[in-house]
Amino acid sequence: MKIYFDKSLIQKEYLSFLAPLLWCPDFPLRWEDKNQIKDRFEYGKTLLSFSPQETCDFFVYPKYFRLDNFDELKWYSNDAKIHAKKVLVFSYGEIDDYIDINENIVWYKRATKIWNPDNEYCLPPFPEDLLPYNHNTIPSIQTWKKHKYSLGYTWYSNYVDIWSFFHYLFVRYMGMICRIPFIKKLLIKCKKESIYGRLINAWIGNYCRWKTIQYIWKLDMYDFNFIQRRHALTTYVQKNLREEYIQNLIDTDFPLLVRWFGNYSIRHYEVLSLWKIPLYIDTWAKLPFDDVIPYDDIFIIVPFQELHEIGQYIDRYIAKNQWRFVEIQNNIRKIYETYFVMKNYYTTIVQRLKYK
C-alpha cells in the first residue's frame, strides 16, 4: 500500500503504523521485547511504501490525534481532498466525536457511538505477548475441578481509603458535569482535552470497576484472585509488580475485563495472548474486528446493566462449555495470532483498505 504523510508534522511522537517507513522501530514502547518489535518493523516494510501525494493510495496523519491538532488535521484533510485522497487517522478517546470522518477519514477509533461503521475500526495497543511467561504451554482450564473456578483481576483504585474516596466522588461528579453537552463543547472549543479526558475517563473507569467488583465479591461459588493497587500499571512500573500482574492472569481461570466506554484495553489483548477465557463486562464499547471474531462464543459476556446477575452468566457459560474449554482456549490464541500480532494486523489493515 502506498501512503503519503507530511514528515514535517512529526515531532517526537509518531505512529507505530508508520515506524517501518521512518527507520525508527519503537523499541521503548510498553514492555515488548526487541525481537517482537523488530519483527513487526521488518514486516511492515514489505506492505507499506512512501509515495508522493499524486500517486499514493492514502494520506496518513502522522501522529496520534489530539484535540490540540484539530485545526491541523482539518487543514491536512482539505489538502487530501484536493488530491482526491482519503486520510487515515489514528486516535483515542471521546474527543473523536468531533472529527468529521464521513468524507475523508477512514481509519480511526471511538468508544461507543458508531456514526460510520464502514470507516471506523478499533486500534489495538499491541502490548507484549505474554505466552512466553507461561513457558509456551497451554494454560488450559480443567474440565472438572476439585476446587472452585477462579476469577481474577489486578486493578488500581483511587478510593481505597477515606481521603481517596472523597477524591473519587469529586472526580465522578466532575466527570458527570463534563458530559453535559454545552460543557463538553466549551471544553472542546477551549481545547482543554487533558481536563475533559481525565475527568470523563476517571469517572467512568472507576465507577465501572467499582460496581463490577462489588457484585463479584458477593459470589461464594468461585475463588477470588484479586490484587488491589493504589496506582495504575504504567509502562515504567517496577519489574516485580509487572510480573505479579502477569502471574495473576496466568493463575486465573476467568480474568475479568472491564473496558468501560473505551476500546483501548491492554489487558484485553494480554488475556487473549495467554489463551484465557475473559469474563467480559459489556459497557457498550466497540470490540475490535467484531464483524469476524465470535466474541459471544469465546467470552463470558455480562451486560453492565445486568451485573446483579453476573453469577448466573458465569454458571450458564460453564455449564454450556465445560467440555469445550481447551477448544475455546485454542481458538482464543488463534484469534490473537491472526488479528492482534502486529505483522498480521498490518496485513488486515491493508486488505480492508483496498476496498475503500
Higher pLDDT, 288 or 249: 249
Confidence of residue 141 (pLDDT cuts 50, 70, 90): confident
Nearest CA to 285 among 168, 204, 202, 340? 204
**CA dist list (Å): 72 to 66, 76, 188, 230:** 10, 6, 15, 38
Looking at residue 142, what DSSP letter applies? P
Write down the mean pLDDT value for the chain.
77
pLDDT value for 298: 94
Give the Cα separation of 224 and 252 in Å (integer). 9
pLDDT value for 67: 67
Residue 335: count of CB within 10 angstroms of its CB: 17
Give the Cα separation of 87 and 257 in Å (integer). 32
Whether residue 335 contacts residue 272, with contact meaning beta carbons closer than 8 Å, is answered with yes
Whether residue 349 contacts residue 107, with contact meaning beta carbons closer than 8 Å, is answered with yes
Higher pLDDT, 115 or 12: 12
Amino acid at position 249, single letter:
L
φ, ψ at 155 (rounded to 5°): -140, 155
Confidence of residue 150 (pLDDT cuts 50, 70, 90): very high
Domain ranges across the chain: 2-124+344-353, 131-340
Residue-wise pLDDT for 302-325, tens only, equals 988 898 999 999 999 999 998 899
Nearest CA to 289 among 268, 303, 307, 271? 268
Amino acid at position 15, single letter:
L
Residue-wise pLDDT for 83-103, tens only, equals 999 888 887 655 555 566 666
Looking at residue 100, what DSSP letter applies? -
Q: What is the DSSP string of 340-352?
A: ISHHHHHHHHHHH
- Residue 153, SS3 per DSSP: strand
Give the Cα separation of 284 and 113 in Å (integer). 9
Confidence of residue 148 (pLDDT cuts 50, 70, 90): confident
Nearest CA to 260 among 202, 218, 214, 190? 202
User: pTM, whole model, 2 decimals?
Assistant: 0.79
The set of long-range contacts for 268-273, using a CB threshold of 8 Å and a minimum separation of 24, is: 269/124, 269/125, 269/126, 269/127, 269/336, 269/340, 270/127, 270/128, 270/130, 270/246, 272/332, 272/333, 272/335, 272/336, 272/340, 273/128, 273/129, 273/130, 273/131, 273/333, 273/336, 273/340
Residues 263-281, mean pLDDT to the nearest whole number? 86
Nine cell digits for residue 50: 512512501
Residue-wise pLDDT for 207-220, tens only, equals 677 788 889 988 98
Residue-wise pLDDT for 28-53, tens only, equals 545 556 666 677 777 788 888 999 99
Confidence of residue 136 (pLDDT cuts 50, 70, 90): low
Residue-wise pLDDT for 152-201, tens only, equals 988 765 544 555 556 556 655 665 666 676 766 666 566 544 554 544 55
Provide the percentage of residues in the chain whose pLDDT is more than 70: 65
Cell 517482537 locates to 36
pLDDT value for 50: 94
**105-107 and 150-156 strand pairing:** unpaired
Provide the percentage of residues in the chain whose pLDDT is more than 90: 24
Give the Cα separation of 268 and 298 in Å (integer). 13
φ, ψ at 4 (rounded to 5°): -120, 140
Whether residue 259 contacts residue 153, with contact meaning beta carbons closer than 8 Å, is answered with no
Beta bridge pairs of residue 120: 108
**Annotation: CATH topology of 131-340:** Rossmann fold (3.40.50)
Alpha helices in 90-192 (DSSP H): 162-178, 181-190
